[in-house]
Amino acid sequence: MNNEQTVFVVDDDEGVREGLSLLFESVGQQCELYSSAFEYLESFDPNRGGCLVLDIRMPRMTGLDLQKKLNELNASLPIVFITGHGDIQMAVEAMRRGAQDFIRKPFREQDLLDTINEALDFNKSCRNKLFDQQEKIDRVALLTEREYEIFSRIADGDMNKVIGIDLGISERTVEVHRSQAMKKLGVRTLAQLVRIKFQTE
């Protein structure tokens, strides 16, 4: 997984974009600038981590329109909206749709940086959880059909002897398949095995 995080700035005001770029560069934060929602969508990559700093009022496609589009794409980037004094109702609507936060203009630079850091931490945590879950799914996929069958039965609380009778195999054979499954899954205890079953269903 790529742990690099980027702040994507989308604002039709060139002065705002340049000001935010200088601010983020001053604290060593990588950023990319876009003058419109359309321009951002052209380069959008769901695999890139970070957060989106988004002006709520833009011509043709507004910040809310872009948020809706990204939601349709199941994008996981947290969005921090920049809003004017008259945009509070729009900002509240953005929060209902899942925005991370909104900053009112004019804003203190430190307030924005604090909000951005919270959004980046949130995104990193979400990406780590998704990566961990995908890793478990990939491990389960390595099991043979018989190993998965026994893994599933054991995770549901069935005893080796009962599984053997139901499947028409010896208890010793069940133990062998169980051992192989646990090795492939990278677990040592029954609790860990049950947890993987629960997390990959």
Statement to judge: residues 44 and 108 lie in one domain: yes
Please tell me whether residues 164 and 69 are part of one structural domain: no
Query: Residue 81 domain-assigned?
Result: yes
Same domain flag for 109 and 150: no
CATH number, position 192: 1.10.10.10
Q: Is 136 a domain residue?
A: no
Domain assignment of residue 68, yes or no: yes
Q: Among 131, 155, 188, where does a domain finish?
A: 131
Do 125 and 159 sit in the same domain of this protein? no
Distances (CA, A) of 151 to 48, 121, 143, 167: 34, 35, 9, 13
Each residue's pLDDT expressed in tens, for the chain with a length of 201 residues: 556 899 999 999 999 999 999 999 999 999 999 999 999 999 999 889 999 999 988 988 999 999 999 999 988 899 999 887 667 788 788 888 889 898 888 888 999 999 999 999 999 988 888 888 888 999 999 999 999 999 999 999 999 999 999 999 999 999 999 999 999 999 988 888 888 888 887
Query: What range does the domain containing 49 cover?
Result: 5-131
**Do 77 and 169 reside in the same domain of the chain?**
no
72, 106, 131 — which closes off a domain?
A: 131
Domain presence at residue 9: yes
Q: What is the dihedral of CA 173, 175, 181, 185, to 10 degrees?
A: -170
Question: Is the residue at 186 inside a domain?
Answer: yes
d(CA 61, CA 39): 10
* pLDDT for residue 169: 94
Q: Does residue 137 sit within a domain?
A: no
Same domain, 123 and 26: yes
pTM of the full structure: 0.70
**Domain contains 116:** yes
| Domain closes at, from 81, 103, 131 | 131
The total number of structural domains in the chain stands at 2
Q: What pLDDT score does 79 carry? A: 95
The predicted structure's pLDDT at residue 88: 74
Q: What ranges in the chain are assigned the alpha helix state H?
A: 14-26, 37-43, 63-72, 88-96, 109-141, 145-155, 160-167, 171-185, 190-200
- CATH number at 71 reads 3.40.50.2300
pLDDT of residue 85: 67
